[in-house]
Amino acid sequence: TLSDRLTSVLQNLRGKGRLSDADIDATCREIRIALLEADVALPVVKSFIAGIKERAKGSEVSQALNPAQQVVKIVNEELVNILGGETRRLNLAKNPPTVIMLAGLQGAGKTTLAGKLAKWLRGQGHAPLLVACDLQRPNAVTQLQVVGERAGVTVFAPEPGNGVGDPVDVARRGIEEARRAQHDVVVVDTAGRLGVDEEMMRQAADIRTAVQPDEVLFVVDAMIGQDAVTTAEAFRDGVGFTGVVLTKLDGDARGGAALSVREVTGQPIMFASNGEKLEDFDVFHPDRMASRILGMGDMLTLIEQAEQAFDAEQAQVAAQKIGTGELTLEDFLEQMLAVRKMGPLANLIGMLPGAGQMKDQLAQLDEKHLDRVQAIIRGMTPAERADPKMINASRRLRIANGSGVKVSDVNEIVNRFFDARKMMAQMAGRFGLPGGGSKNR
């Protein structure tokens, strides 16, 4: 899966201070394969990768994120963008009723969607009317009536017993009925075929011409993968549509269809259906779909939190001090608080891809220990934190008593701090961090 692939790419990038062009090319190659596997159409993949490359190569070195995280962040942002960025709202008519027409292949989920939309619209304070214009299948009208009843809305259907009616005529009369009975939104359900079909297209186009809908929603099964593109193009050319609804997202669709349809037709995805029940429905959220495609919801959360907790200036100062060996316990405490602001450590590490096996050990990485370290540092005076060398035996005893720990605990923290400071200064010298090794040279 994309998630696995990215995880291994990320592992290769770990420990690099900055990305070379070769790193970026290799990462993009993996992402390209992964997107193709997620059923994204080739032309879409190509333009997407080109965009990522350009951004990654020109990107600033982030202080909050390591290079691998930075690539994921860029990929995610571009995905959200390509999926439409902001959620687009329904166009409501200035003079009600607003007419929403549904179009799509048979089995795409139009009739089910009609019920879901009706229920959702009611929740938004509207009084919808469903109009049954699928007169093709014997049970289609009954199906809409059942769905309408569940949603608690009225369904307009042709009178039974008159033979096969004319869907265009039913649509027109449905709108009249809505006006008469003061429904402010009309949802027109239409017939689909199993494949793209001239007659079906013509019928849908005729209904569109007759009722001049405010929205034509192209309903597409997210599970059909690459076929979504050809189907979408056929409907775009044959009927035209103003928005897309993805259905069956509860299946194991990787979301490639979403990306392709949006990019190829240029029309926004407006709603998402994820189950057979009326409640299994939501406004489409580009960010959620992006993390579904990336398969890295948790990773993205982590990146966000890291950026929020991170104060670039403070880190710059700390980096300087590390380089010159001037890091104090005060800085140490600040850094620790910044990291802890992101939540329990075990959770944070647990969010990293591949950390699954480490869960047991992580459970032992106990917060109490961190609390104790924090308490000990807080028990020191500002002078002691700024210059830990002055912390002699009697001061250690005072700190231990003040923070309710043993003197050996205080010793351990202070000694570890000196060791860490020495090591960091050496490393900074070697890797050219700001201020690197200026004192040790």
Residues forming the site for ligand GDP (CB under 6 A): 104, 106-112, 192, 247-248, 250, 273-276, 280
- Residue ranges for the known binding site for GTP are 104-111, 189-193, 247-250
Q: What is the C-alpha to C-alpha distance for residues 279 and 273, in angstroms, rounded to an integer?
A: 9
- When the beta carbons of 106 and 374 are compared against ligand GDP, the nearer one is 106
Take residue 269 and report the two structure tokens written for it: 């995805």
3-state secondary structure 75-102: HHHHHHHHCCCCCCCCCCCCCCCEEEEE
Which of ligand GDP, Mg ion, none does residue 287 bind to, with CB < 5 to 8 Å depending on kind? Answer: none
Q: What angle do CA 227, 231, 232 make, to 5 degrees?
A: 115
The nearest distance, CB 53 to Mg ion, in angstroms, is 43
Which of Mg ion, ligand GDP, none does residue 429 bind to, with CB < 5 to 8 Å depending on kind? Answer: none
Which of ligand GDP, Mg ion, none does residue 335 bind to, with CB < 5 to 8 Å depending on kind? Answer: none
Which of ligand GDP, Mg ion, none does residue 325 bind to, with CB < 5 to 8 Å depending on kind? Answer: none
Q: Using CA of residue 54, residue 56, residue 61, residue 62, what is the dihedral sign? A: positive
- When the beta carbons of 281 and 332 are compared against ligand GDP, the nearer one is 281
The nearest distance, CB 206 to Mg ion, in angstroms, is 18
- When the beta carbons of 79 and 253 are compared against ligand GDP, the nearer one is 253
Q: What is the C-alpha to C-alpha distance for residues 171 and 156, in angstroms, rounded to an integer?
A: 9
- The answer to whether the CB of 269 falls within 8 A of the CB of 287 is no
Query: Contact between 203 and Mg ion (CB under 5 A)?
Result: no
Best CA proximity match to 157, nearest among 115, 185, 137, 129: 129
- When the beta carbons of 68 and 133 are compared against Mg ion, the nearer one is 133
Which of ligand GDP, Mg ion, none does residue 106 bind to, with CB < 5 to 8 Å depending on kind? Answer: ligand GDP
Residue recorded with tokens 């860029």: 74
Q: At 131, give phi and psi (nearest 5°).
A: -120, 125
Q: What is the C-alpha to C-alpha distance for residues 193 and 371, in angstroms, rounded to an integer?
A: 64
The nearest distance, CB 235 to ligand GDP, in angstroms, is 13
The nearest distance, CB 90 to ligand GDP, in angstroms, is 19
Best CA proximity match to 379, nearest among 413, 415, 336: 413
Q: Using CA of residue 155, residue 212, residue 107, residue 38, what is the dihedral sign? A: negative
Which of Mg ion, ligand GDP, none does residue 59 bind to, with CB < 5 to 8 Å depending on kind? Answer: none
- The answer to whether the CB of 190 falls within 8 A of the CB of 80 is no
Q: Which stretch binds Mg ion (CB under 5 A): 102-110, 201-209, 245-253, 278-286?
A: 102-110
- When the beta carbons of 110 and 396 are compared against Mg ion, the nearer one is 110
- Residue ranges for the known binding site are 104-111, 189-193, 247-250
The nearest distance, CB 273 to Mg ion, in angstroms, is 13
Q: Which stretch binds Mg ion (CB under 5 A): 103-111, 172-180, 366-374, 390-398?
A: 103-111
- When the beta carbons of 107 and 240 are compared against Mg ion, the nearer one is 107
Take residue 136 and report the two structure tokens written for it: 């093709």
The nearest distance, CB 163 to ligand GDP, in angstroms, is 22
Which of Mg ion, ligand GDP, none does residue 248 bind to, with CB < 5 to 8 Å depending on kind? Answer: ligand GDP
Q: Using CA of residue 243, residue 114, residue 189, residue 258, what is the dihedral sign? A: positive
Task: Using CB under 5 A, count the residues that bind Mg ion.
Answer: 2
Residue recorded with tokens 């199906």: 143
- When the beta carbons of 204 and 319 are compared against ligand GDP, the nearer one is 204
The nearest distance, CB 267 to Mg ion, in angstroms, is 21
Q: What is the C-alpha to C-alpha distance for residues 90 and 126, in angstroms, rounded to an integer?
A: 12
In the chain, count H helices and then E strands: 20, 8
- State the residue number with the nearest CB to Mg ion: 111
The nearest distance, CB 100 to ligand GDP, in angstroms, is 15
Which of Mg ion, ligand GDP, none does residue 184 bind to, with CB < 5 to 8 Å depending on kind? Answer: none
- When the beta carbons of 23 and 189 are compared against ligand GDP, the nearer one is 189
Strand partners, 243: 217
Residue 422 belongs to what H/E stretch? helix 407-431
- When the beta carbons of 235 and 332 are compared against ligand GDP, the nearer one is 235
Q: For the chain, percent helix, then strand, then coil, each to nearest 5?
A: 60, 10, 30
Q: Using CA of residue 78, residue 83, residue 84, residue 86, what is the dihedral sign? A: negative
DSSP structural state of residue 389? G
In the stretch 104-133, what mask flags binding to Mg ion with x, by CB under 5 A? ------xx----------------------
The nearest distance, CB 250 to ligand GDP, in angstroms, is 5
Alpha helices in 152-255 (DSSP H): 167-180, 198-211, 227-238
Which of Mg ion, ligand GDP, none does residue 274 bind to, with CB < 5 to 8 Å depending on kind? Answer: ligand GDP
Q: Residue numbers of the site for Mg ion (CB under 5 A)? A: 110-111
